[in-house]
Amino acid sequence: MTKTPKINAAVLGLGGMGGTHVSALKASPYVDKIYGYEPDPGRRAQRARELGVIPMDLADIMRDPAIAMVDIASINEAHVPQAVMGLRAGKAVLCEKPMGTTMKEAEELIKVQQATGGFLQIGFELHYSKLYSMVKDWILAGAIGTPVNIQCRYYCCEFHRKDSWRSRSTGGFLIGEKLSHYLDLQRWWFSQPLESVYSLSSPKVVPYFSHRDNHQIMARFKGGGVATLNFIMYIAESYHEDPLQELLAKQSDDGHYLQYYVCGTKGAIETDVFRRRVRRWEFGESDTGFESKIVETHTFPKEEDQVWFHNTYGQNLRVIELIAKGLPPEVPAADAYETMKFCFAAEQSEDTGRVIAF
């Protein structure tokens, strides 16, 4: 009987997302000891008690050869410095996105990964979400022919609130922090290099944001495919918890949208988060003209939201297994870097009013 390999791991950043990472580490059969780091010693001790991990200073984590993995859920500004430290210390690194707050930072991180040859995977967990991996499977199976047009509509309410670190963030915060997931999906489904990006943003509506609150991002890929992402961060009805209403059921018709339409030469796919649905069309031609027919529909219950939508937990379990078994990342750092280039190009386009060519 083969013995299950076990590793020790450390979570850097013990806030809400850090708690998600700790939960996955605790559930994994490949993990022995779990350490936790927060820069403030008092908060570190408190959160370590709450989460059931061993508090440890960052320098000690990096010096300890028994800690094989660092799991970075810190603030955005700490992502690259901590990932670089981890790689140079010989640790495998799982890092939340964004992959740097500037293009220079992202370039530095990819150079260190290439120089060390270390394990680095960025947290683009939608690759592990059933809703979006089903789209990829259909594309690979030829179910819609060659993808040519990808449209995303993402409208939500303002949930960051006043005086939060998110509302105080500047520059292209929403693109790198939030929309990077959805630009990454466009790259994943097209499987073609980017050719150009053009993005627009209208004047802000949310007065206390230090960043833009809307983005209209358009991209062209090699081979001719085009994609758009239409994002507005304030149009949907503000959410106030109501125990008598299920969350997505309420939001499905109050202005919230997170939909994709992936159009190919032989069919199309729709994903709809707020309707918990994915559908597929087949195209054909009759004596009277072009025909489109819905041939497959899948829905999922609210209990499976995590697995179907933002499957951070499932991603982390898989990455832990890869590290314990000495296997390479499934979403390579170089691929995540291309998505960050997409994000920064959109920001640059909005700043300059120009098309950014690759």
Annotated domain spans of the chain: 7-122, 129-301+340-357
In the chain, where does DSSP find H-type helix? 16-27, 41-51, 58-63, 79-88, 103-116, 130-140, 165-168, 173-174, 180-190, 247-251, 305-308, 312-324, 333-352
Extract the tokens encoding 343: 């994000």
pLDDT band of residue 170 (cuts 50, 70, 90) is confident
Of the candidates 233, 183, 234, 229, which has an alpha carbon nearest to the alpha carbon of residue 344?
183
The DSSP-derived string for 138-170 is HHHTTTT-SEEEEEEEEE----S-TTSHHHH--
- The CATH number of 7-122 is 3.40.50.720
pLDDT band of residue 244 (cuts 50, 70, 90) is low
Of the candidates 75, 71, 91, which has an alpha carbon nearest to the alpha carbon of residue 40?
75
Q: What is the pLDDT of residue 267?
A: 98
82 has a pLDDT exceeding 90: yes
Q: What is the pLDDT of residue 252?
A: 81
Q: Global pTM?
A: 0.94
> What's at 330, amino acid-wise?
E
pLDDT band of residue 156 (cuts 50, 70, 90) is very high
Instruction: For residue 103, count other CB atoms closer than 10 A to its CB.
Output: 16
Buried b (16+ CB within 10 A) or exposed e, 85-96: bbbebebbbbbb
Length of the chain: 358
pLDDT digits (tens, 9 = 90+) for 174-205: 899 899 999 999 999 999 999 999 999 999 99
Of the candidates 109, 47, 98, 58, which has an alpha carbon nearest to the alpha carbon of residue 76?
98
Q: What is the pLDDT of residue 346?
A: 97
How many alpha carbons fall within 13 Å on the CB side of residue 16? 0
246 has a pLDDT exceeding 90: no
Residue pointed to by tokens 């989460």:
51
Q: What is the pLDDT of residue 253?
A: 83
Instruction: For residue 101, count other CB atoms closer than 10 A to its CB.
Output: 22
- The CATH number of 129-301+340-357 is 3.30.360.10
